[in-house]
Structure formats: C-alpha cells, structure tokens
Amino acid sequence: MNKPLKEKIVSKFIKIYKSQPLVIFSPGRINLIGEHTDYNDGYVFPAAIDKGIIAAVEKSKTNYCSVYAYDKKEKYQFNLDSIAPIPNGGWRNYILGVISEIQKKGIGLSPFNIVFGGDIPDGAGLSSSAALENSIVFGLNELFQLELSKKDMIFISQKAEHNYVGVKCGIMDQYASMFGKEDHFLLLDCRTIESKAYQIDLKGYELLLINTNVKHNLSDSAYNNRRSVCENVSTMLHKKALRDVTEKELLALKDKISDDDYQKASYIIQEINRTQKSAEAIKSDDILKLGQLIYQSHAGLQHQYKVSCDELDFLVDKAKESNAVIGSRMMGGGFGGCTINLIEKNQINNFTSEVTKSYKTKFDNECSIYQIKLSSGTHLVT
Ligand code: GLA
C-alpha cells in the first residue's frame, strides 16, 4: 500500500471533517489467465496487487453523507433516504450503488463521511472500480458493525456495478480485491466461489504490465453484449452456463447460431480449459507451458471473442518478436488497458525501452510499464 497517499488522505479527512477516521486499503487486481470466464461459471486466476484505493470513513454528526474524491478534488453530499443512480455520475455511482445494495438487504445506515483516493491509473483495467466498491462496503461494515461476511460484501459490490454502473460484470474483480493473498494467485472457481491459492515460482521470469493508456468507447455495451451471447448459447443447449458445455456439444449448434456467436462460445470453453491447464503447468513447474497458454488466451480474445484492440495486439506482437517474453496477453475486459507479460528478469530494461519507443512511433502515444507485487485483499489499515 502507498503510505504517503494514506497520510494525505487521512490528513484531508481530519481537515474537512475534524475527526479521526477508520482507514481501509482495497487493492486492484491482475489476472494471469481466464478472461471473460467468470460470468460463465468458469475458472479465473487473479491476484490482488499493491496498488488500490484508500478510503477513510467515519460516522457523521450531520443528517447527510459527504464524500470527497481526493484525486478528482470533487465533493458530493447526499441523503441516505433518496439514493438513486446519477446519469454520468462517475465515481458517485459506485458508492451509491454499494449503499443501495446494503439498504436492499434491509440494513439501515446512518450518515457518514468519506475521503477516498488511489494509485491505480484510470482505465488501466486493474479494477479500480471493484477496489472502490469493496473499500466502501468494507468500511461501512466496520463502521456500523453490519456483520456482513466477505462473501456478502463482494456480492454487494458486484450488484452495485450491475445496477448503478450498468456493467453486468462477473465476480472475479471483487473476489480478487477482497480475498487477495500476499505473493499468491487465486485459482477461483466462479461457480462455487471457492479458490485455491498458488505461490508461483516464476524461475528467472517476472510479471510485467504494459498499459496501452487507451480505453476505447463502448467497452461497457460490448461487455454486456458478450455476456448475453454466452447466456443465449448455454440456454439453447439447456445448460446452466458455458462451463457445462463441451466443444462437441457446441458443434451441434453450429448451424443454428451465427459464426460470430459460435466463435465467442468456443473461446469461452477453450479459455476455461486453458485456465485449468495453467494450474497444472504451475504445479509441475512448467513456466514455458504457462507462457504458451497465455499467448493462446490472447489469440482467442483477439480473433474469437473480439475484445482486443490495435494497441493491445501491437504490444503482444512485440512480445512475440522478443526472445525475452514467453507469454503475453491483454488483461481484463479489453478494448484497452494493460497487457500482462511473462518476461526474463534481466531483459526487462532492454525490452521495455524498445517497446516504449516503437509504441510511441506507431500510435503517437506513450505506453506505461508497471512492475507489481501481489498483495493481501481489502483490509483495515492501522
Ligand atoms: C471485467 C469484469 C470481470 C471479468 C473481466 C474479464 O474486469 O469486471 O468480471 O469479466 O472483465 O475477464
């Protein structure tokens, strides 16, 4: 966690509200493999990272709530008895959504104050939204002793996103952010919502993120649209989710659906399989195999599921050209954000300086490089 940022947020809180807050750190996440599989009841392989949201919360003596977004320098005040989504409300909707979902459970809240800020770059695909939702629900749970379990909390966060932000996301981001474990990835079964922690020995390799610094429009509607394609296909096959469908069973439907939908569904079935194979590769210490699966994941996201973009494809192509990188793919929902790369440790500088230059030449835009640490999930900061 970013200690200087924490200090700034706490002193801002004390300055505005003249009281000492509870402080929560809620991390963003990366995902090794298993993309768009979460809402198909499949497997994902995320980890929480050391970048995230820091939220300071305390009860208010007034009869309204007040939230200050530190990074944006924006303040918002509202009444707990008139919560509704705000059109183009940005960060406000994540907070209101969480409150609304808590209220829907019949839980009453009293007014509170918040200052929050973070160090996850906007649009990087590192789930600053899940980190924010989790920080709020976790903070309110502590503040008002709501006795919500961590699982209750992640479903509240997820529904906030469905109902107030309008993205019908799966559970991966909220789970990883809440349950993350230092130095570990979590192989999460999105049907049972149980995970197994893996400490991966990357040998001489390291994980490196490269941010395209683009976020293309329509990514939300494209996301929801992909989700409904998956649900339609599994319904046509009388299955609960694509997780329950084999490639052979899908083939029987080939003439009844568009080729586009067929490709999307087969991507999901294959990606669920790749995620399980990745766990096996890790268990048998086969990092090269893991890298190959990561490259295959990108090919599927690019050509079959069609959620990549030129900038992401360019970065993955550059990775393929380099002997130093053994696996690279777009990460998260797509249409921008980061690639995740498995790269030889002592080649990082060479590779990144070459990629940064060629990216700039090609897109007249900077890409950013991040090295990350795997962190523990949402927690109180003392
Ligand atoms: C977004 C969603 C997740 C997941 C990923 C794609 O991050 O919030 O639920 O579907 O996209 O894997």
Contacts of 274 (CB under 8 A, 6+ apart): 33, 34, 293, 296, 297
pTM of the model: 0.97
- For residue 219, the model assigns a pLDDT of 75
Per CATH, which fold does 3-199+376-381 belong to?
Answer: Ribosomal Protein S5; domain 2 (3.30.230)
User: Do residues 30 and 207 lie in contact, with contact meaning Cβ atoms separated by under 8 Å?
Assistant: yes
CB atoms within 10 A of CB 361: 8
Q: Which atom of ligand 1 is nearest to the CA of 36?
A: 12
- Nearest CA residue ID for atom 10, ligand 1: 36
- For residue 141, the model assigns a pLDDT of 98
18, exposed or middle or buried, with CB in 10 Å at 0-12, 13-18, 19+? exposed
Looking at residue 98, its amino acid is V
Residue 173 is a catalytic residue:
yes
Two structure tokens written together for 349:
């500088």
- For residue 177, the model assigns a pLDDT of 98
- What letters, b where the CB count within 10 A reaches 16 and e where it falls short, cover 38-77? bbbbbbbbbbbbbbbbbbbbbebeeeebbbbbbbeeeebe
Q: Which atom of ligand 1 is nearest to the CA of 37?
A: 12
Name the residue of 32, 33, 36 to mutate for ligand 1: max ligand atoms within 8 A of Cβ: 36
43 SS3 class: strand
Q: Is 333 in the pocket of ligand 1 (CB under 6 A)?
A: yes
In degrees and rounded to multiples of 5, residue 37 shows phi and psi of: -90, -15
Q: Is 42 in the pocket of ligand 1 (CB under 6 A)?
A: no
- Nearest CA residue ID for atom 2, ligand 1: 169
DSSP class of residue 30 equals E
CB atoms within 10 A of CB 323: 9
Q: Give domain limits for the chain.
A: 3-199+376-381
How far apart are alpha carbons 113 and 57 in whole angstroms? 6
- For residue 366, the model assigns a pLDDT of 97
CB atoms within 10 A of CB 145: 8
Distance 36 CA to ligand 1 centre (A): 6
The series of mean pLDDT values per 10 residues for the chain, 382 residues long, is 94 97 98 98 98 98 97 97 94 98 97 97 92 98 98 98 96 98 98 97 94 85 96 98 98 96 98 98 96 98 98 98 97 96 97 98 97 96 88
Two structure tokens written together for 206:
């390291």
CB atoms within 10 A of CB 86: 12
Q: Is 39 in the pocket of ligand 1 (CB under 6 A)?
A: yes
